[in-house]
Structure 1
């Protein structure tokens, strides 16, 4: 089974996270497949790239169980976390560098580092029952996936800090009010919303869309985001080997079982 499913639909390429039994938790094979899928999509010069997911959740972020499985030694845990978080950040940067509009169809909850896939999108349609939540302070992890590298620019510094300090659950309507989401709808209408955007894009010059995106995500801005993501990873690695983080992961895994 492919962990990323790809569809070419009316000029847009859709990428689906496809690990629904585990709520599309981010594991290394899934991120590897996603990075490859993004590169392949680029070669097709689509009208837009759409990121969505199969099942009830968009993604619950990094799989805490997998972190625990790799915690048999400090070196093994660091190696696992370094590669996983680094790959997530590579995916985010690949989305920011994509030459066509990037859209997200958020079909369910988005937590942890998977929020970076939402933050890297230009326009977001979200199911009205979905939500976004960090959970880092519940486990002891350092935030990754753009929670400190991208979120403050979207919602403001104070609000970004508040959300993460309090582990705030951002409901769909609040996500729209904060500017994280473009449009809300029932889950059954997500595809229709995205397809309407793609249809509108197709009536206009794709070269202008590409130039607009490249002007906004220019080399200087992308370099700054990369530096901030690198800092996120550094802090993540610093915290994940602490005994209290191991205890936090264990407690969280038991509670989520």
Structure 2
């Protein structure tokens, strides 16, 4: 019997459950699916709850409209400042929830992924991207450092040299190059992304839940044993940088669409 739950947008996240596949869609298209604190917390909570729900056999993460997730919503953060500790803990909990979920997590990167959006995509077990998508870790462009575990997740996927170029220079990586580098499992024509992800999700949702869970855990233990250390280092460094003059200048320059003038 196929059970279907109609999607309802709650705190910027729309969810639907059908045939054991939980689809979580970041639903802030007017902000290019940039995450405010509430949406980030809601997404992490949804992933965690899904892992404890025996009806859920696979999770698909994607974005509404033209973007996957363009990182933290700096405009929202500026209007309603939150404790940096809370922000970092919420982001880290989201990434940890994706990695720790006992069911396969598939990222359907339908458009730009930036900042923590890259972390969400790469933390997934299977990551597929549309050809028009790109990946961007531009933290240093605004006086910050990579977070969301990306300082570990990205080099674990593509190696230190390419990760250094991606993070230190803050330049976008096209979906085609992401495929070539190994940042994603596969890049597909935009028109084929949904059908491919649906087929993969149907396959994992009908697979042996416990065997898939242990396989995922084994892969993560082998490739991401230092994830907690990376998250802790990123939190400490990012909190320091969030209080810096360089970040204040970088954030203002981005909102004003000009080049920053770092001290």
For the criterion TM > 0.5, the same-fold answer is yes
Structure-2 residue corresponding to 1:14: 23
Partner secondary structure for residue 103 of structure 1: strand
Of 222, 228, 231 in structure 2, the residue corresponding to residue 229 of structure 1 is 231
Question: Could you tell me whether the CA contact under 8 Å between 1:67 and 1:81 is conserved in 2?
Answer: no
Change (3 A) 1:27 1:202: closer
Aligned partners of 1:67 and 1:139: how far apart in 2? 15
CA distance in 2, matches of 1:93, 1:214: 12
State whether residues 125 and 184 of structure 1, in contact with CA within 8 Å, keep that contact through their aligned partners in structure 2. yes
Output one character per residue of 1:148-195: Cα deviation in whole Å (capped at 9) or x when no partner: 121111111111111112212100110011111122223333221111
Distance 2:46 2:176 in 1: 31
2-structure distance, mates of 1:199, 1:55: 23
- Take 1:20 and 1:112, find their aligned partners in 2: how far apart are those partners? 16
Pairs within 5 Å for 1:102-251: 102-202=105-205, 204-218=207-221, 224-251=226-253
Cα distance in 1 for partners of 2:206, 2:254 equals 48
8 Å CA contact 2:128–2:187 kept in 1: the answer is: yes
RMSD: 1.9
Asked whether the equivalents of residues 4 and 18 of structure 1 are also in contact (C-alpha less than 8 Å), the reply is: yes
Structure 2 unaligned segments of length 5 or more: list them: 1-8, 259-263
When normalised by structure 2's length, the TM-score is 0.88
* Residue 31 of structure 1, aligned match among 37, 40, 46: 40
Distance 1:29 1:203 in 2: 32
Bigger drift between 205-214 and 181-190 goes to 181-190
Query: What is the Cα deviation at residue 123 of structure 1?
Result: 1.0
Seen in structure 2, the aligned counterparts of structure 1 residues 223 and 203 have a Cα distance that, compared at 3 Å, is closer
Determine if contact 1:115/1:146 at 8 Å carries over to the other structure: no
The answer as to whether partners of 1:67 and 1:80 remain within 8 angstroms in 2 is no
Deviations 1:21-53 (A, max 9, x none): 111111111012112211221232322111111
Distance 1:141 1:43 in 2: 35
Distance (whole Å) between structure 1 residues aligned to residue 48 and residue 242 of structure 2:
31
Q: Is the 8 A contact 1:93 1:222 kept in 2?
A: no
Distance 1:245 1:204, change over 3 A: closer
Structure 2 contact 143–241 (Cα < 8 Å) conserved: yes
Alignment partner of 2:257: what SS?
helix
CA distance in 1, matches of 2:94, 2:125: 15
Unaligned runs of 5+ in 1: 71-76
State the partner residue of 2:261.
none
Number of residue pairs aligned between Structure 1 and Structure 2: 248
User: What is the TM-score when the length of structure 1 is the normalising length?
Assistant: 0.90
